Structure formats: structure tokens, C-alpha cells
Amino acid sequence: MQTFISTASMLFALLLAAHAEDEIDESHLSVVSAYEAFQAKFGRSEIRGSQSYEARLKIFAKRQAEVEAQNTRGGSWRAEVNEFADYTEDEFAGMLGYRRLGGWSTSQSSHPSPRKLQSARLIAESIDYRKLNSSSWVIRQGGCGACWAIAAIGAMETHAELCDKREPRRLSMHELIDCVPNPKNCGGPGGCVGSVFDLAFQYVQDLGLSYDE
């Protein structure tokens, strides 16, 4: 009798283990399917089974789980898998990491300070920025390290839409990339190789900025 119970217990344990393995396999296949759809959408070229593929698949699975966890928690925003979902930490480090060097520019401008103008205006109690056209204008920088220019453009376009009742217009990011001087190599030598948004704001305050036409 004792032998029968031991055998039955062993069989039950094996069945549980097999069921768990099936669930793991299904979960893995689901991640693989999602990653291959991701590859097709964003033009990835890693070959299934290669070391690079397996490494990026592991990163993708982790990021996908983070997205699902955020959306399960709920809140005022939802996460989505985007083209950065299989980036390594080194690849992120090459795109991020703003460090402002030195102080603010001391050059003088004939334009009045926005802080001085603000006191003369009626400030709204609340604003839903999601309703602004400029909030939906997404710029993809690709391999150009122009996050400094994109950040400056986004801030100025939003501010212009809030303050001007006319139809909002896109501002020229390319003018900032091509024309903003960076003599002290703050954040990089300038352009697509890196700079800081402080210099972009100073350039626009001194010289203005073209529309993106």
C-alpha cells in the first residue's frame, strides 16, 4: 500500500512538472512571437537562434513584462512597447545622459524675460496638455544625437500654442541642429553629435527661429 501511495505521489509530481513546463513553453512562445512581430515592425535583423537574437529577446521579454505590469496597475497613463524595447543599457547610454556644463549664458537680449511677462497674465487653474496639437507632434531622432534640439522645440511649440490663439505651427528643428553654436562643446561638439537645450533657447531668444516648412 505504501509503495502504491509513493508511486502515485511521484506520478502526480511528474504531471505537475509537465504542466508547468507546458505553461513555460507557451509563455516563451508568446514572447518569441511578440518579439518577431516587433522585429518586423522596427526592421530588426537578428537571426533566430543567434547569440544576438537570444540576448535581445531576453531584454525584450523584460521590457514587455514591465509594460504589462504598468498597465495592470492602471493610473493616468498606459505604457506601450516601442522601438527601444530591445536596446541594451550601453545603447541607451549612447543616447541619454544630459549634463549641463558651466553656468547659464550671461549674454544680454533686448527681448523681455518670460518671467516678467507672466505676472501680467491671468494664469489658468488647470490645463490639459493632451488636447494641444503640439503634444501629439512626435519627432524621431534616429541616429542623430539631437535630443537637446527636440526637447527645446517641444517646449517652445507647446508654449507658443498656449499663448497664441492662431493655428499652431511646427518650428524648425533642423535650424537648431545646423545653426546653434557650441563653442565650449557643452554636451558634445554640436549638431547631431550632441549639445544642450540651454544653447537652443539662447539662440532663439537672440535670433528667433524659422517655421518648419
Label residue 213 exposed, middle or buried (CB < 10 Å: 0-12, 13-18, 19+).
exposed
CA angle 125–127–128, rounded 5-degree value: 150
pLDDT at 102: 52
pLDDT at 175: 93
Please write down the HEC assignment for all residues of 99-159.
CCCCCCCCCCCCCCCHHHHHCCCCCCCCCCHHHCHHHHCCCCCCCCCCHHHHHHHHHHHHH
Answer yes or no: is pLDDT of 205 > 80. Answer: yes
Given a contact cutoff of 8 angstroms between Cβ atoms, the answer to whether 150 and 173 are in contact is yes
pLDDT at 7: 58
What is the rounded CA–CA span in Å between residue 39 and residue 33? 10
Answer yes or no: is pLDDT of 108 > 60. Answer: no
What is the rounded CA–CA span in Å between residue 182 and residue 200? 10
pLDDT at 20: 45
pLDDT digits (tens, 9 = 90+) for 141-194: 777 888 899 999 989 988 888 887 778 888 999 999 999 999 988 888 899 988
Distance of CA 183 to the CA centre of its chain: 28
Whether residues 201 and 110 fall in one domain: yes
Q: Which domain CATH number covers 159?
A: 3.90.70.10
Whether residues 116 and 196 fall in one domain: yes
Answer yes or no: is pLDDT of 113 > 90. Answer: no
pLDDT digits (tens, 9 = 90+) for 38-93: 999 988 888 888 999 999 999 999 999 999 999 999 888 889 999 889 998 888 77
Read off the C-alpha cell for 27.
509563455
Q: Which domain CATH number covers 55?
A: 1.10.287.2250
Averaged pLDDT for residues 195-211: 92
Q: How many domains does the chain have?
A: 2
pTM, entire model: 0.51
Whether residues 75 and 107 fall in one domain: no
Q: Which domain holds residue 169?
A: 103-207
The torsion defined by the Cα of 28, 88, 83 and 131, in degrees rounded to 10, comes to 110
Averaged pLDDT for residues 183-211: 90
